[in-house]
Amino acid sequence: MQQDLVVAKSLSDINGECRAHGNLGAAYFSQGNYKEALTSHRYQLVLAMKCKETQAAASALTSLGHVYTATGDFANALASHKQCVELIRSQLDDKLMVIKELRIVKALSVQTYEPCNRRQERLAMLEQFTSPWVTLIVQLIVTWNT
């Protein structure tokens, strides 16, 4: 993968560099090398924005959110996933991806901002449902009632 990055750079292929950084970030993440994963996904995001590749930018934001979550940085994880939702809503018509990201945003919101006793209660409720639509409805009801 590092070789892919070198080749893409030598060809001035920004899209190729973007993909290579995404692949490297995923590889680093799977190895538990979160510092390098963050660096690679940040480069991926910058390059995706530079060449206006919305799907790649959304992927980079999601990946950054996952890395931040793995390192326990829930505030940055939440911010990354929220940015991803806004990007998808404004530039892509991918409702399923929005729902997936909203589920992550809700889970991170629960993890980050709620008192422990309420957090466990809500997480248990969310885990009972596997359908994205049902979970979304439950999330909306829980949010409405707070």
Reported as a single tens digit per residue, the pLDDT across 9-60 is 778 878 889 888 899 999 999 999 999 999 999 999 999 999 999 999 999 9
User: Alpha-carbon distance 117 to 121, whole Å?
Assistant: 6
Reported as a single tens digit per residue, the pLDDT across 78-91 is 899 899 988 988 88
Name the strand (E) or helix (H) holding 144: helix 132-144
Where is average pLDDT lowest: 8-22, 61-75, 94-108, 128-142?
A: 128-142
Which domains can be identified in the chain, with CATH numbers? Answer: 2-113 (1.25.40.10)
Name the strand (E) or helix (H) holding 137: helix 132-144
Q: Where are the alpha helices (DSSP H) in 1-131?
A: 2-10, 14-30, 34-50, 54-70, 74-91, 95-113, 116-127
pTM: predicted TM-score of the whole model, two decimal places: 0.71
Mean per-residue pLDDT over the chain, rounded: 80
